[in-house]
A and B are shown apart, each in its own frame.
Chain A
Amino acid sequence: MSSVLLSGWGRTMPSVATLRTVSSEEEIAAAIAASHAIIARGLGRSYGDPAQVSGGTVLCSQMSDVGPIDEDGVLQVGAGASLDQLLAECIPQGWFLPVTPGTRQVTIGGAIAADVHGKNHHVDGSFARHVLAMRVVTPTGVATISPDEDGELFWATMGGLGLTGVVASITLKLLKIDTDQVVVDTQRFANLDEVMSEMTEGDADYRYSVAWVDCMTRGANLGRAVLTRGDHARASDVDSVSLRAPTAARLKVPFDAPSGLLNPWTIRAFNEAWFRSSPRHQVAKLESFSSFFHPLDGVGDWNRLYGRRGFVQYQFCVPEGSGDTVRRAIEHLASSGLASFLAVLKRFGPSSPGPLSFPMPGWTLALDLPVGPATLPQVLDDLDELVLSADGRVYLAKDARLSPEKIRAMYPRLDEFREVKNRVDPEHKLTSDLARRLELVGA
C-alpha cells in the first residue's frame, strides 16, 4: 500500500489516495471491509475523476486471467485485464471484441464501469449487451450476476462507475472474424448537414461508422467532416489471411508540452491539414485494426500534449430527431472561438437497460478542449442547457465539470440506481471524487 496522486486522463483535479493491489475476490472483500471510501481503478483512461477518491483507497486489480474461448466465442476474463491484452489472445484465434472504444488501453472493469461504446453502437449496442454474467464483490457479499440473476444489480453495475461493487471477472461473448483487416470507405463532406444526412441514410449498411468533425470552421463549411465506415474483411476480401495481435505504441510523448501548445491557431492549422489530406471519396480500402479502431494508441501518453493545465472531453448524446442540437452545439463552439480538436460524431442505436448507461438512440458528439480559456466553463454550461432542452445527456465517464442538478435531469433513473446502491452498499463505502462532486450516491 502506498499513497499516490491520481488524476484522470485529462490530468485535471488530482487527489491523493492509498493504492492497494488485489488479486482475488477475498482480497477485494477485505480491502472494501477495511476502507471507509474505496473505488476500483483500471488504466486511468476515463477523462475526469471517476477512478480516484481523495483520502480513500484506490483498488487496482491484478485479476487479469484470460480463459479459454469456447466454440461460441464465450470466455471468462478477469476485470483487471486490458482490452489490449484480451485482443492479443483472441485475434490469433479468430475472435474480436464485440465492442471496442477508441483505445484498447482500458480494463474490462473500466469498460463495464463506463459501459463503453464503439463505432458499432448503431448495430451492436454498448459493451453491456455482450456480457453474459459477472462476478462482483460488493460491501454486502460476493455474487454471480447476469440479466437473469439479480438483473437489477447487473444493470446498475453496467455504466455504474464502480459504485455498486468491484467486478472481479466477467463472461463475455466475442465476435467471430476471418482476418485482422477492416474494409473501409472514407468520404469527405463540406459541412455538417451533408455528413449527417449521409449517416442517417447509409450507416445501417456498415457495422462501423464514425465521422470526425472540424468544430472550428464557421459559415458554409460549419462542421465539415470526414466519414469513415467499414466492416471486418472476410477471407475473400484479402490476398492472404492474417490474424495478428496489435502492436504497442511506437511513439511516446516524453514530457509535458507547454500548456499553450494546443491553442486555437495550432489546432485550426491541424484541422485544416487533416481535412485536406483526407481522401474525397475512397472505397474498400483495407486497414489494420489498430489504425481503424485505435488511432490514438499509436502515440503513448498523448494527453501530455495538452500541458500542465490538462484538458476536458465533453461528450453528449441527443435522441433521434435532435440533429439540430448537434448543429447548434457546434455553432456555439465555433462562434466562441475556443480551440477544439477534431470532434467525433456518431449515431447511437438502442440504449442498454442500465439506469446510468449513457447511449440513447440518436446522435453523439465528443469534443476535446484544452483547459485555460476563461470562457470555456460557461460555454460548456451553455451546452449542458442545450443538451438538456433536447432531452439528451452528457457521458459521465468523460465528465469533469457537470453540476449535481444537471445530472438529476440528464439521468432521470438515478433514483433507481441509488436504490440498488443502497441495497448492496448501505454505508456508501464505494465512492469516488466524481460521485462526491455529482452527488451520485446522495448529498
Chain B
Amino acid sequence: MENAFGQPQTVVVLAGSSDIARAITKKLCAARAQTVVLAGRNQELLDEARNEALTNGASRVDTVIFDARDPSNAERTVNESFEMAGEVVDLVVLAVGVLGDQERFENDATLAAEMATVNFTWPVAALARVRSLLVTQGSGRIVVISSVAAVRVRRAKYLYGGTKAGLDRLCIGLADSLEGTGVTLQIVRPGHVRSKMTSGMKDPPFATGVDDVANDVVKGLADRRAVIWSPPILRYVFFALRHLPAPLWRRVTDEADR
C-alpha cells in the first residue's frame, strides 16, 4: 500500500525502460517501492532498468515485453503486469510514447497512423484496463507522462504534440471520472527533457533533466496535484504561451525548434 506521502510499495511501469520512467522508478525504490514490474519492448533495456531498480532498493523486479504498435496486446500486458505485482498495485506509471521524425512521418499515412497508435491508442487501451483493475481494487494511482507539447501544439512537432494532446485531454476526463473510487490519475507535463529520445537536439528554454522530472513527480505524488509540471515554472510559462496570437506563437516556437 502507498503511504501518506504517496510513496508506493508496488509499482507497474508501462514503458519501464524509457529514461524518464527509469529515473522515476529509481526514486520510488529509494523510498518505499519493493515490488516493481517493468513493461517495455526491449528486453536488454528492461534488464538494465531492472538492475538499476534492484540497486536502488527494490526487492523484486519483473519484466514484461510488449509492442505499443499493436493495441490488441494492451490488455494482456496490463493483466500480466498486475499478476506479477501481486495483491495490490499502488501506482501505475504510463510512459509510453515516441517523439517520431515528423519530416519523414507527416506525409506517410502508415507512419503517421503508427505514431498515433503508440502515443494515443495503445495508452488509451491500457488505461481502460488499468482503470478497471484499480477501481475493483478500491485504491491506487495512475501517473501519465504527457508533455507541455500537448498544451499548445506547434507546427514542427504537431504529430507528437497532437497525439500527446489527445492523451492529455482524455486523461483530464478520466481523472474526473475516478472521483470517489479511491483511484486517482495525475498528469505529468515535462518541458524539453534531455534523454535518449531527444539526443542530438539543442536545448530550448526551460530544458530539464530526467532526474529533475523524477523529483517533481515524487513531490507531485505527495501533493496530489492533478497536473505535475516539470519544471514547475512551466505552469505559468504555458499559461502565457497558450494565449499568444498564432503568428507570434509560430515565431516563438520556430525559434525554439530551430
Contact = CB atoms under 8 A, between A and B. Distances in A.
Interface of A: 5, 10, 12-17, 48-49, 54-56, 259, 308-310, 312, 371-372, 374, 376-377, 400-403, 433-434, 436-437
Interface in B115-135: 135
Given A54-B138, A371-B4, 17 more contacts: A15-B139, A16-B139, A16-B180, A16-B181, A54-B137, A55-B137, A259-B223, A308-B224, A371-B222, A374-B219, A374-B222, A377-B31, A377-B222, A401-B4, A436-B87, A437-B2, A437-B9
A156 B88 CA distance: 26
Contacts of A403: 32
Contact of B223 (A10, A14, A17, A372): A372
Contacts of A49: 1
Given A374-B219, A377-B222, A55 B138 contact: yes
A308 B215 CA distance: 21
B107 interface: no
Contacts of B18: none
Contact of A17 (B3, B138, B215): B138
A312 B3 CA distance: 10
Contacts of B139: 13-16, 54-55, 433
A14 B224 CA distance: 12
A13 B1 contact: yes
The prevalent SS among residues of A at the interface is loop
B5 interface: yes
Interface of B: 1-5, 7, 9, 31-32, 87-88, 135-139, 180-182, 215, 219, 222-224
B138 to A, nearest CB: 4
Nearest to A47: B4
Nearest to B34: A404
B3 A5 contact: no
B138 A16 contact: yes
- Closest 5 pairs between A and B when the two form their complex, measured CB to CB: A400-B4, A16-B182, A12-B4, A15-B139, A16-B138
Contacts of B219: 374
Contacts, number: 75
A54 B222 CA distance: 19
Given A54-B88, A55-B136, A437-B9, A15 B182 contact: yes
A401 B182 CA distance: 18
A411 to B, nearest CB: 18
Contacts of A400: 3-4
A49 B182 CA distance: 13
A14 B182 contact: yes
B138 A309 contact: no
Contacts of A374: 215, 219, 222
26 contacts: A5-B181, A10-B4, A12-B4, A13-B1, A13-B4, A14-B182, A15-B182, A16-B135, A16-B138, A16-B139, A16-B182, A54-B1, A55-B139, A56-B138, A259-B223, A308-B224, A309-B222, A309-B224, A310-B4, A371-B5, A374-B215, A377-B7, A377-B222, A400-B3, A434-B1, A437-B3
A400 to B, nearest CB: 4
Contact of A433 (B1, B32, B136): B1
Nearest to A377: B5
B214 to A, nearest CB: 13
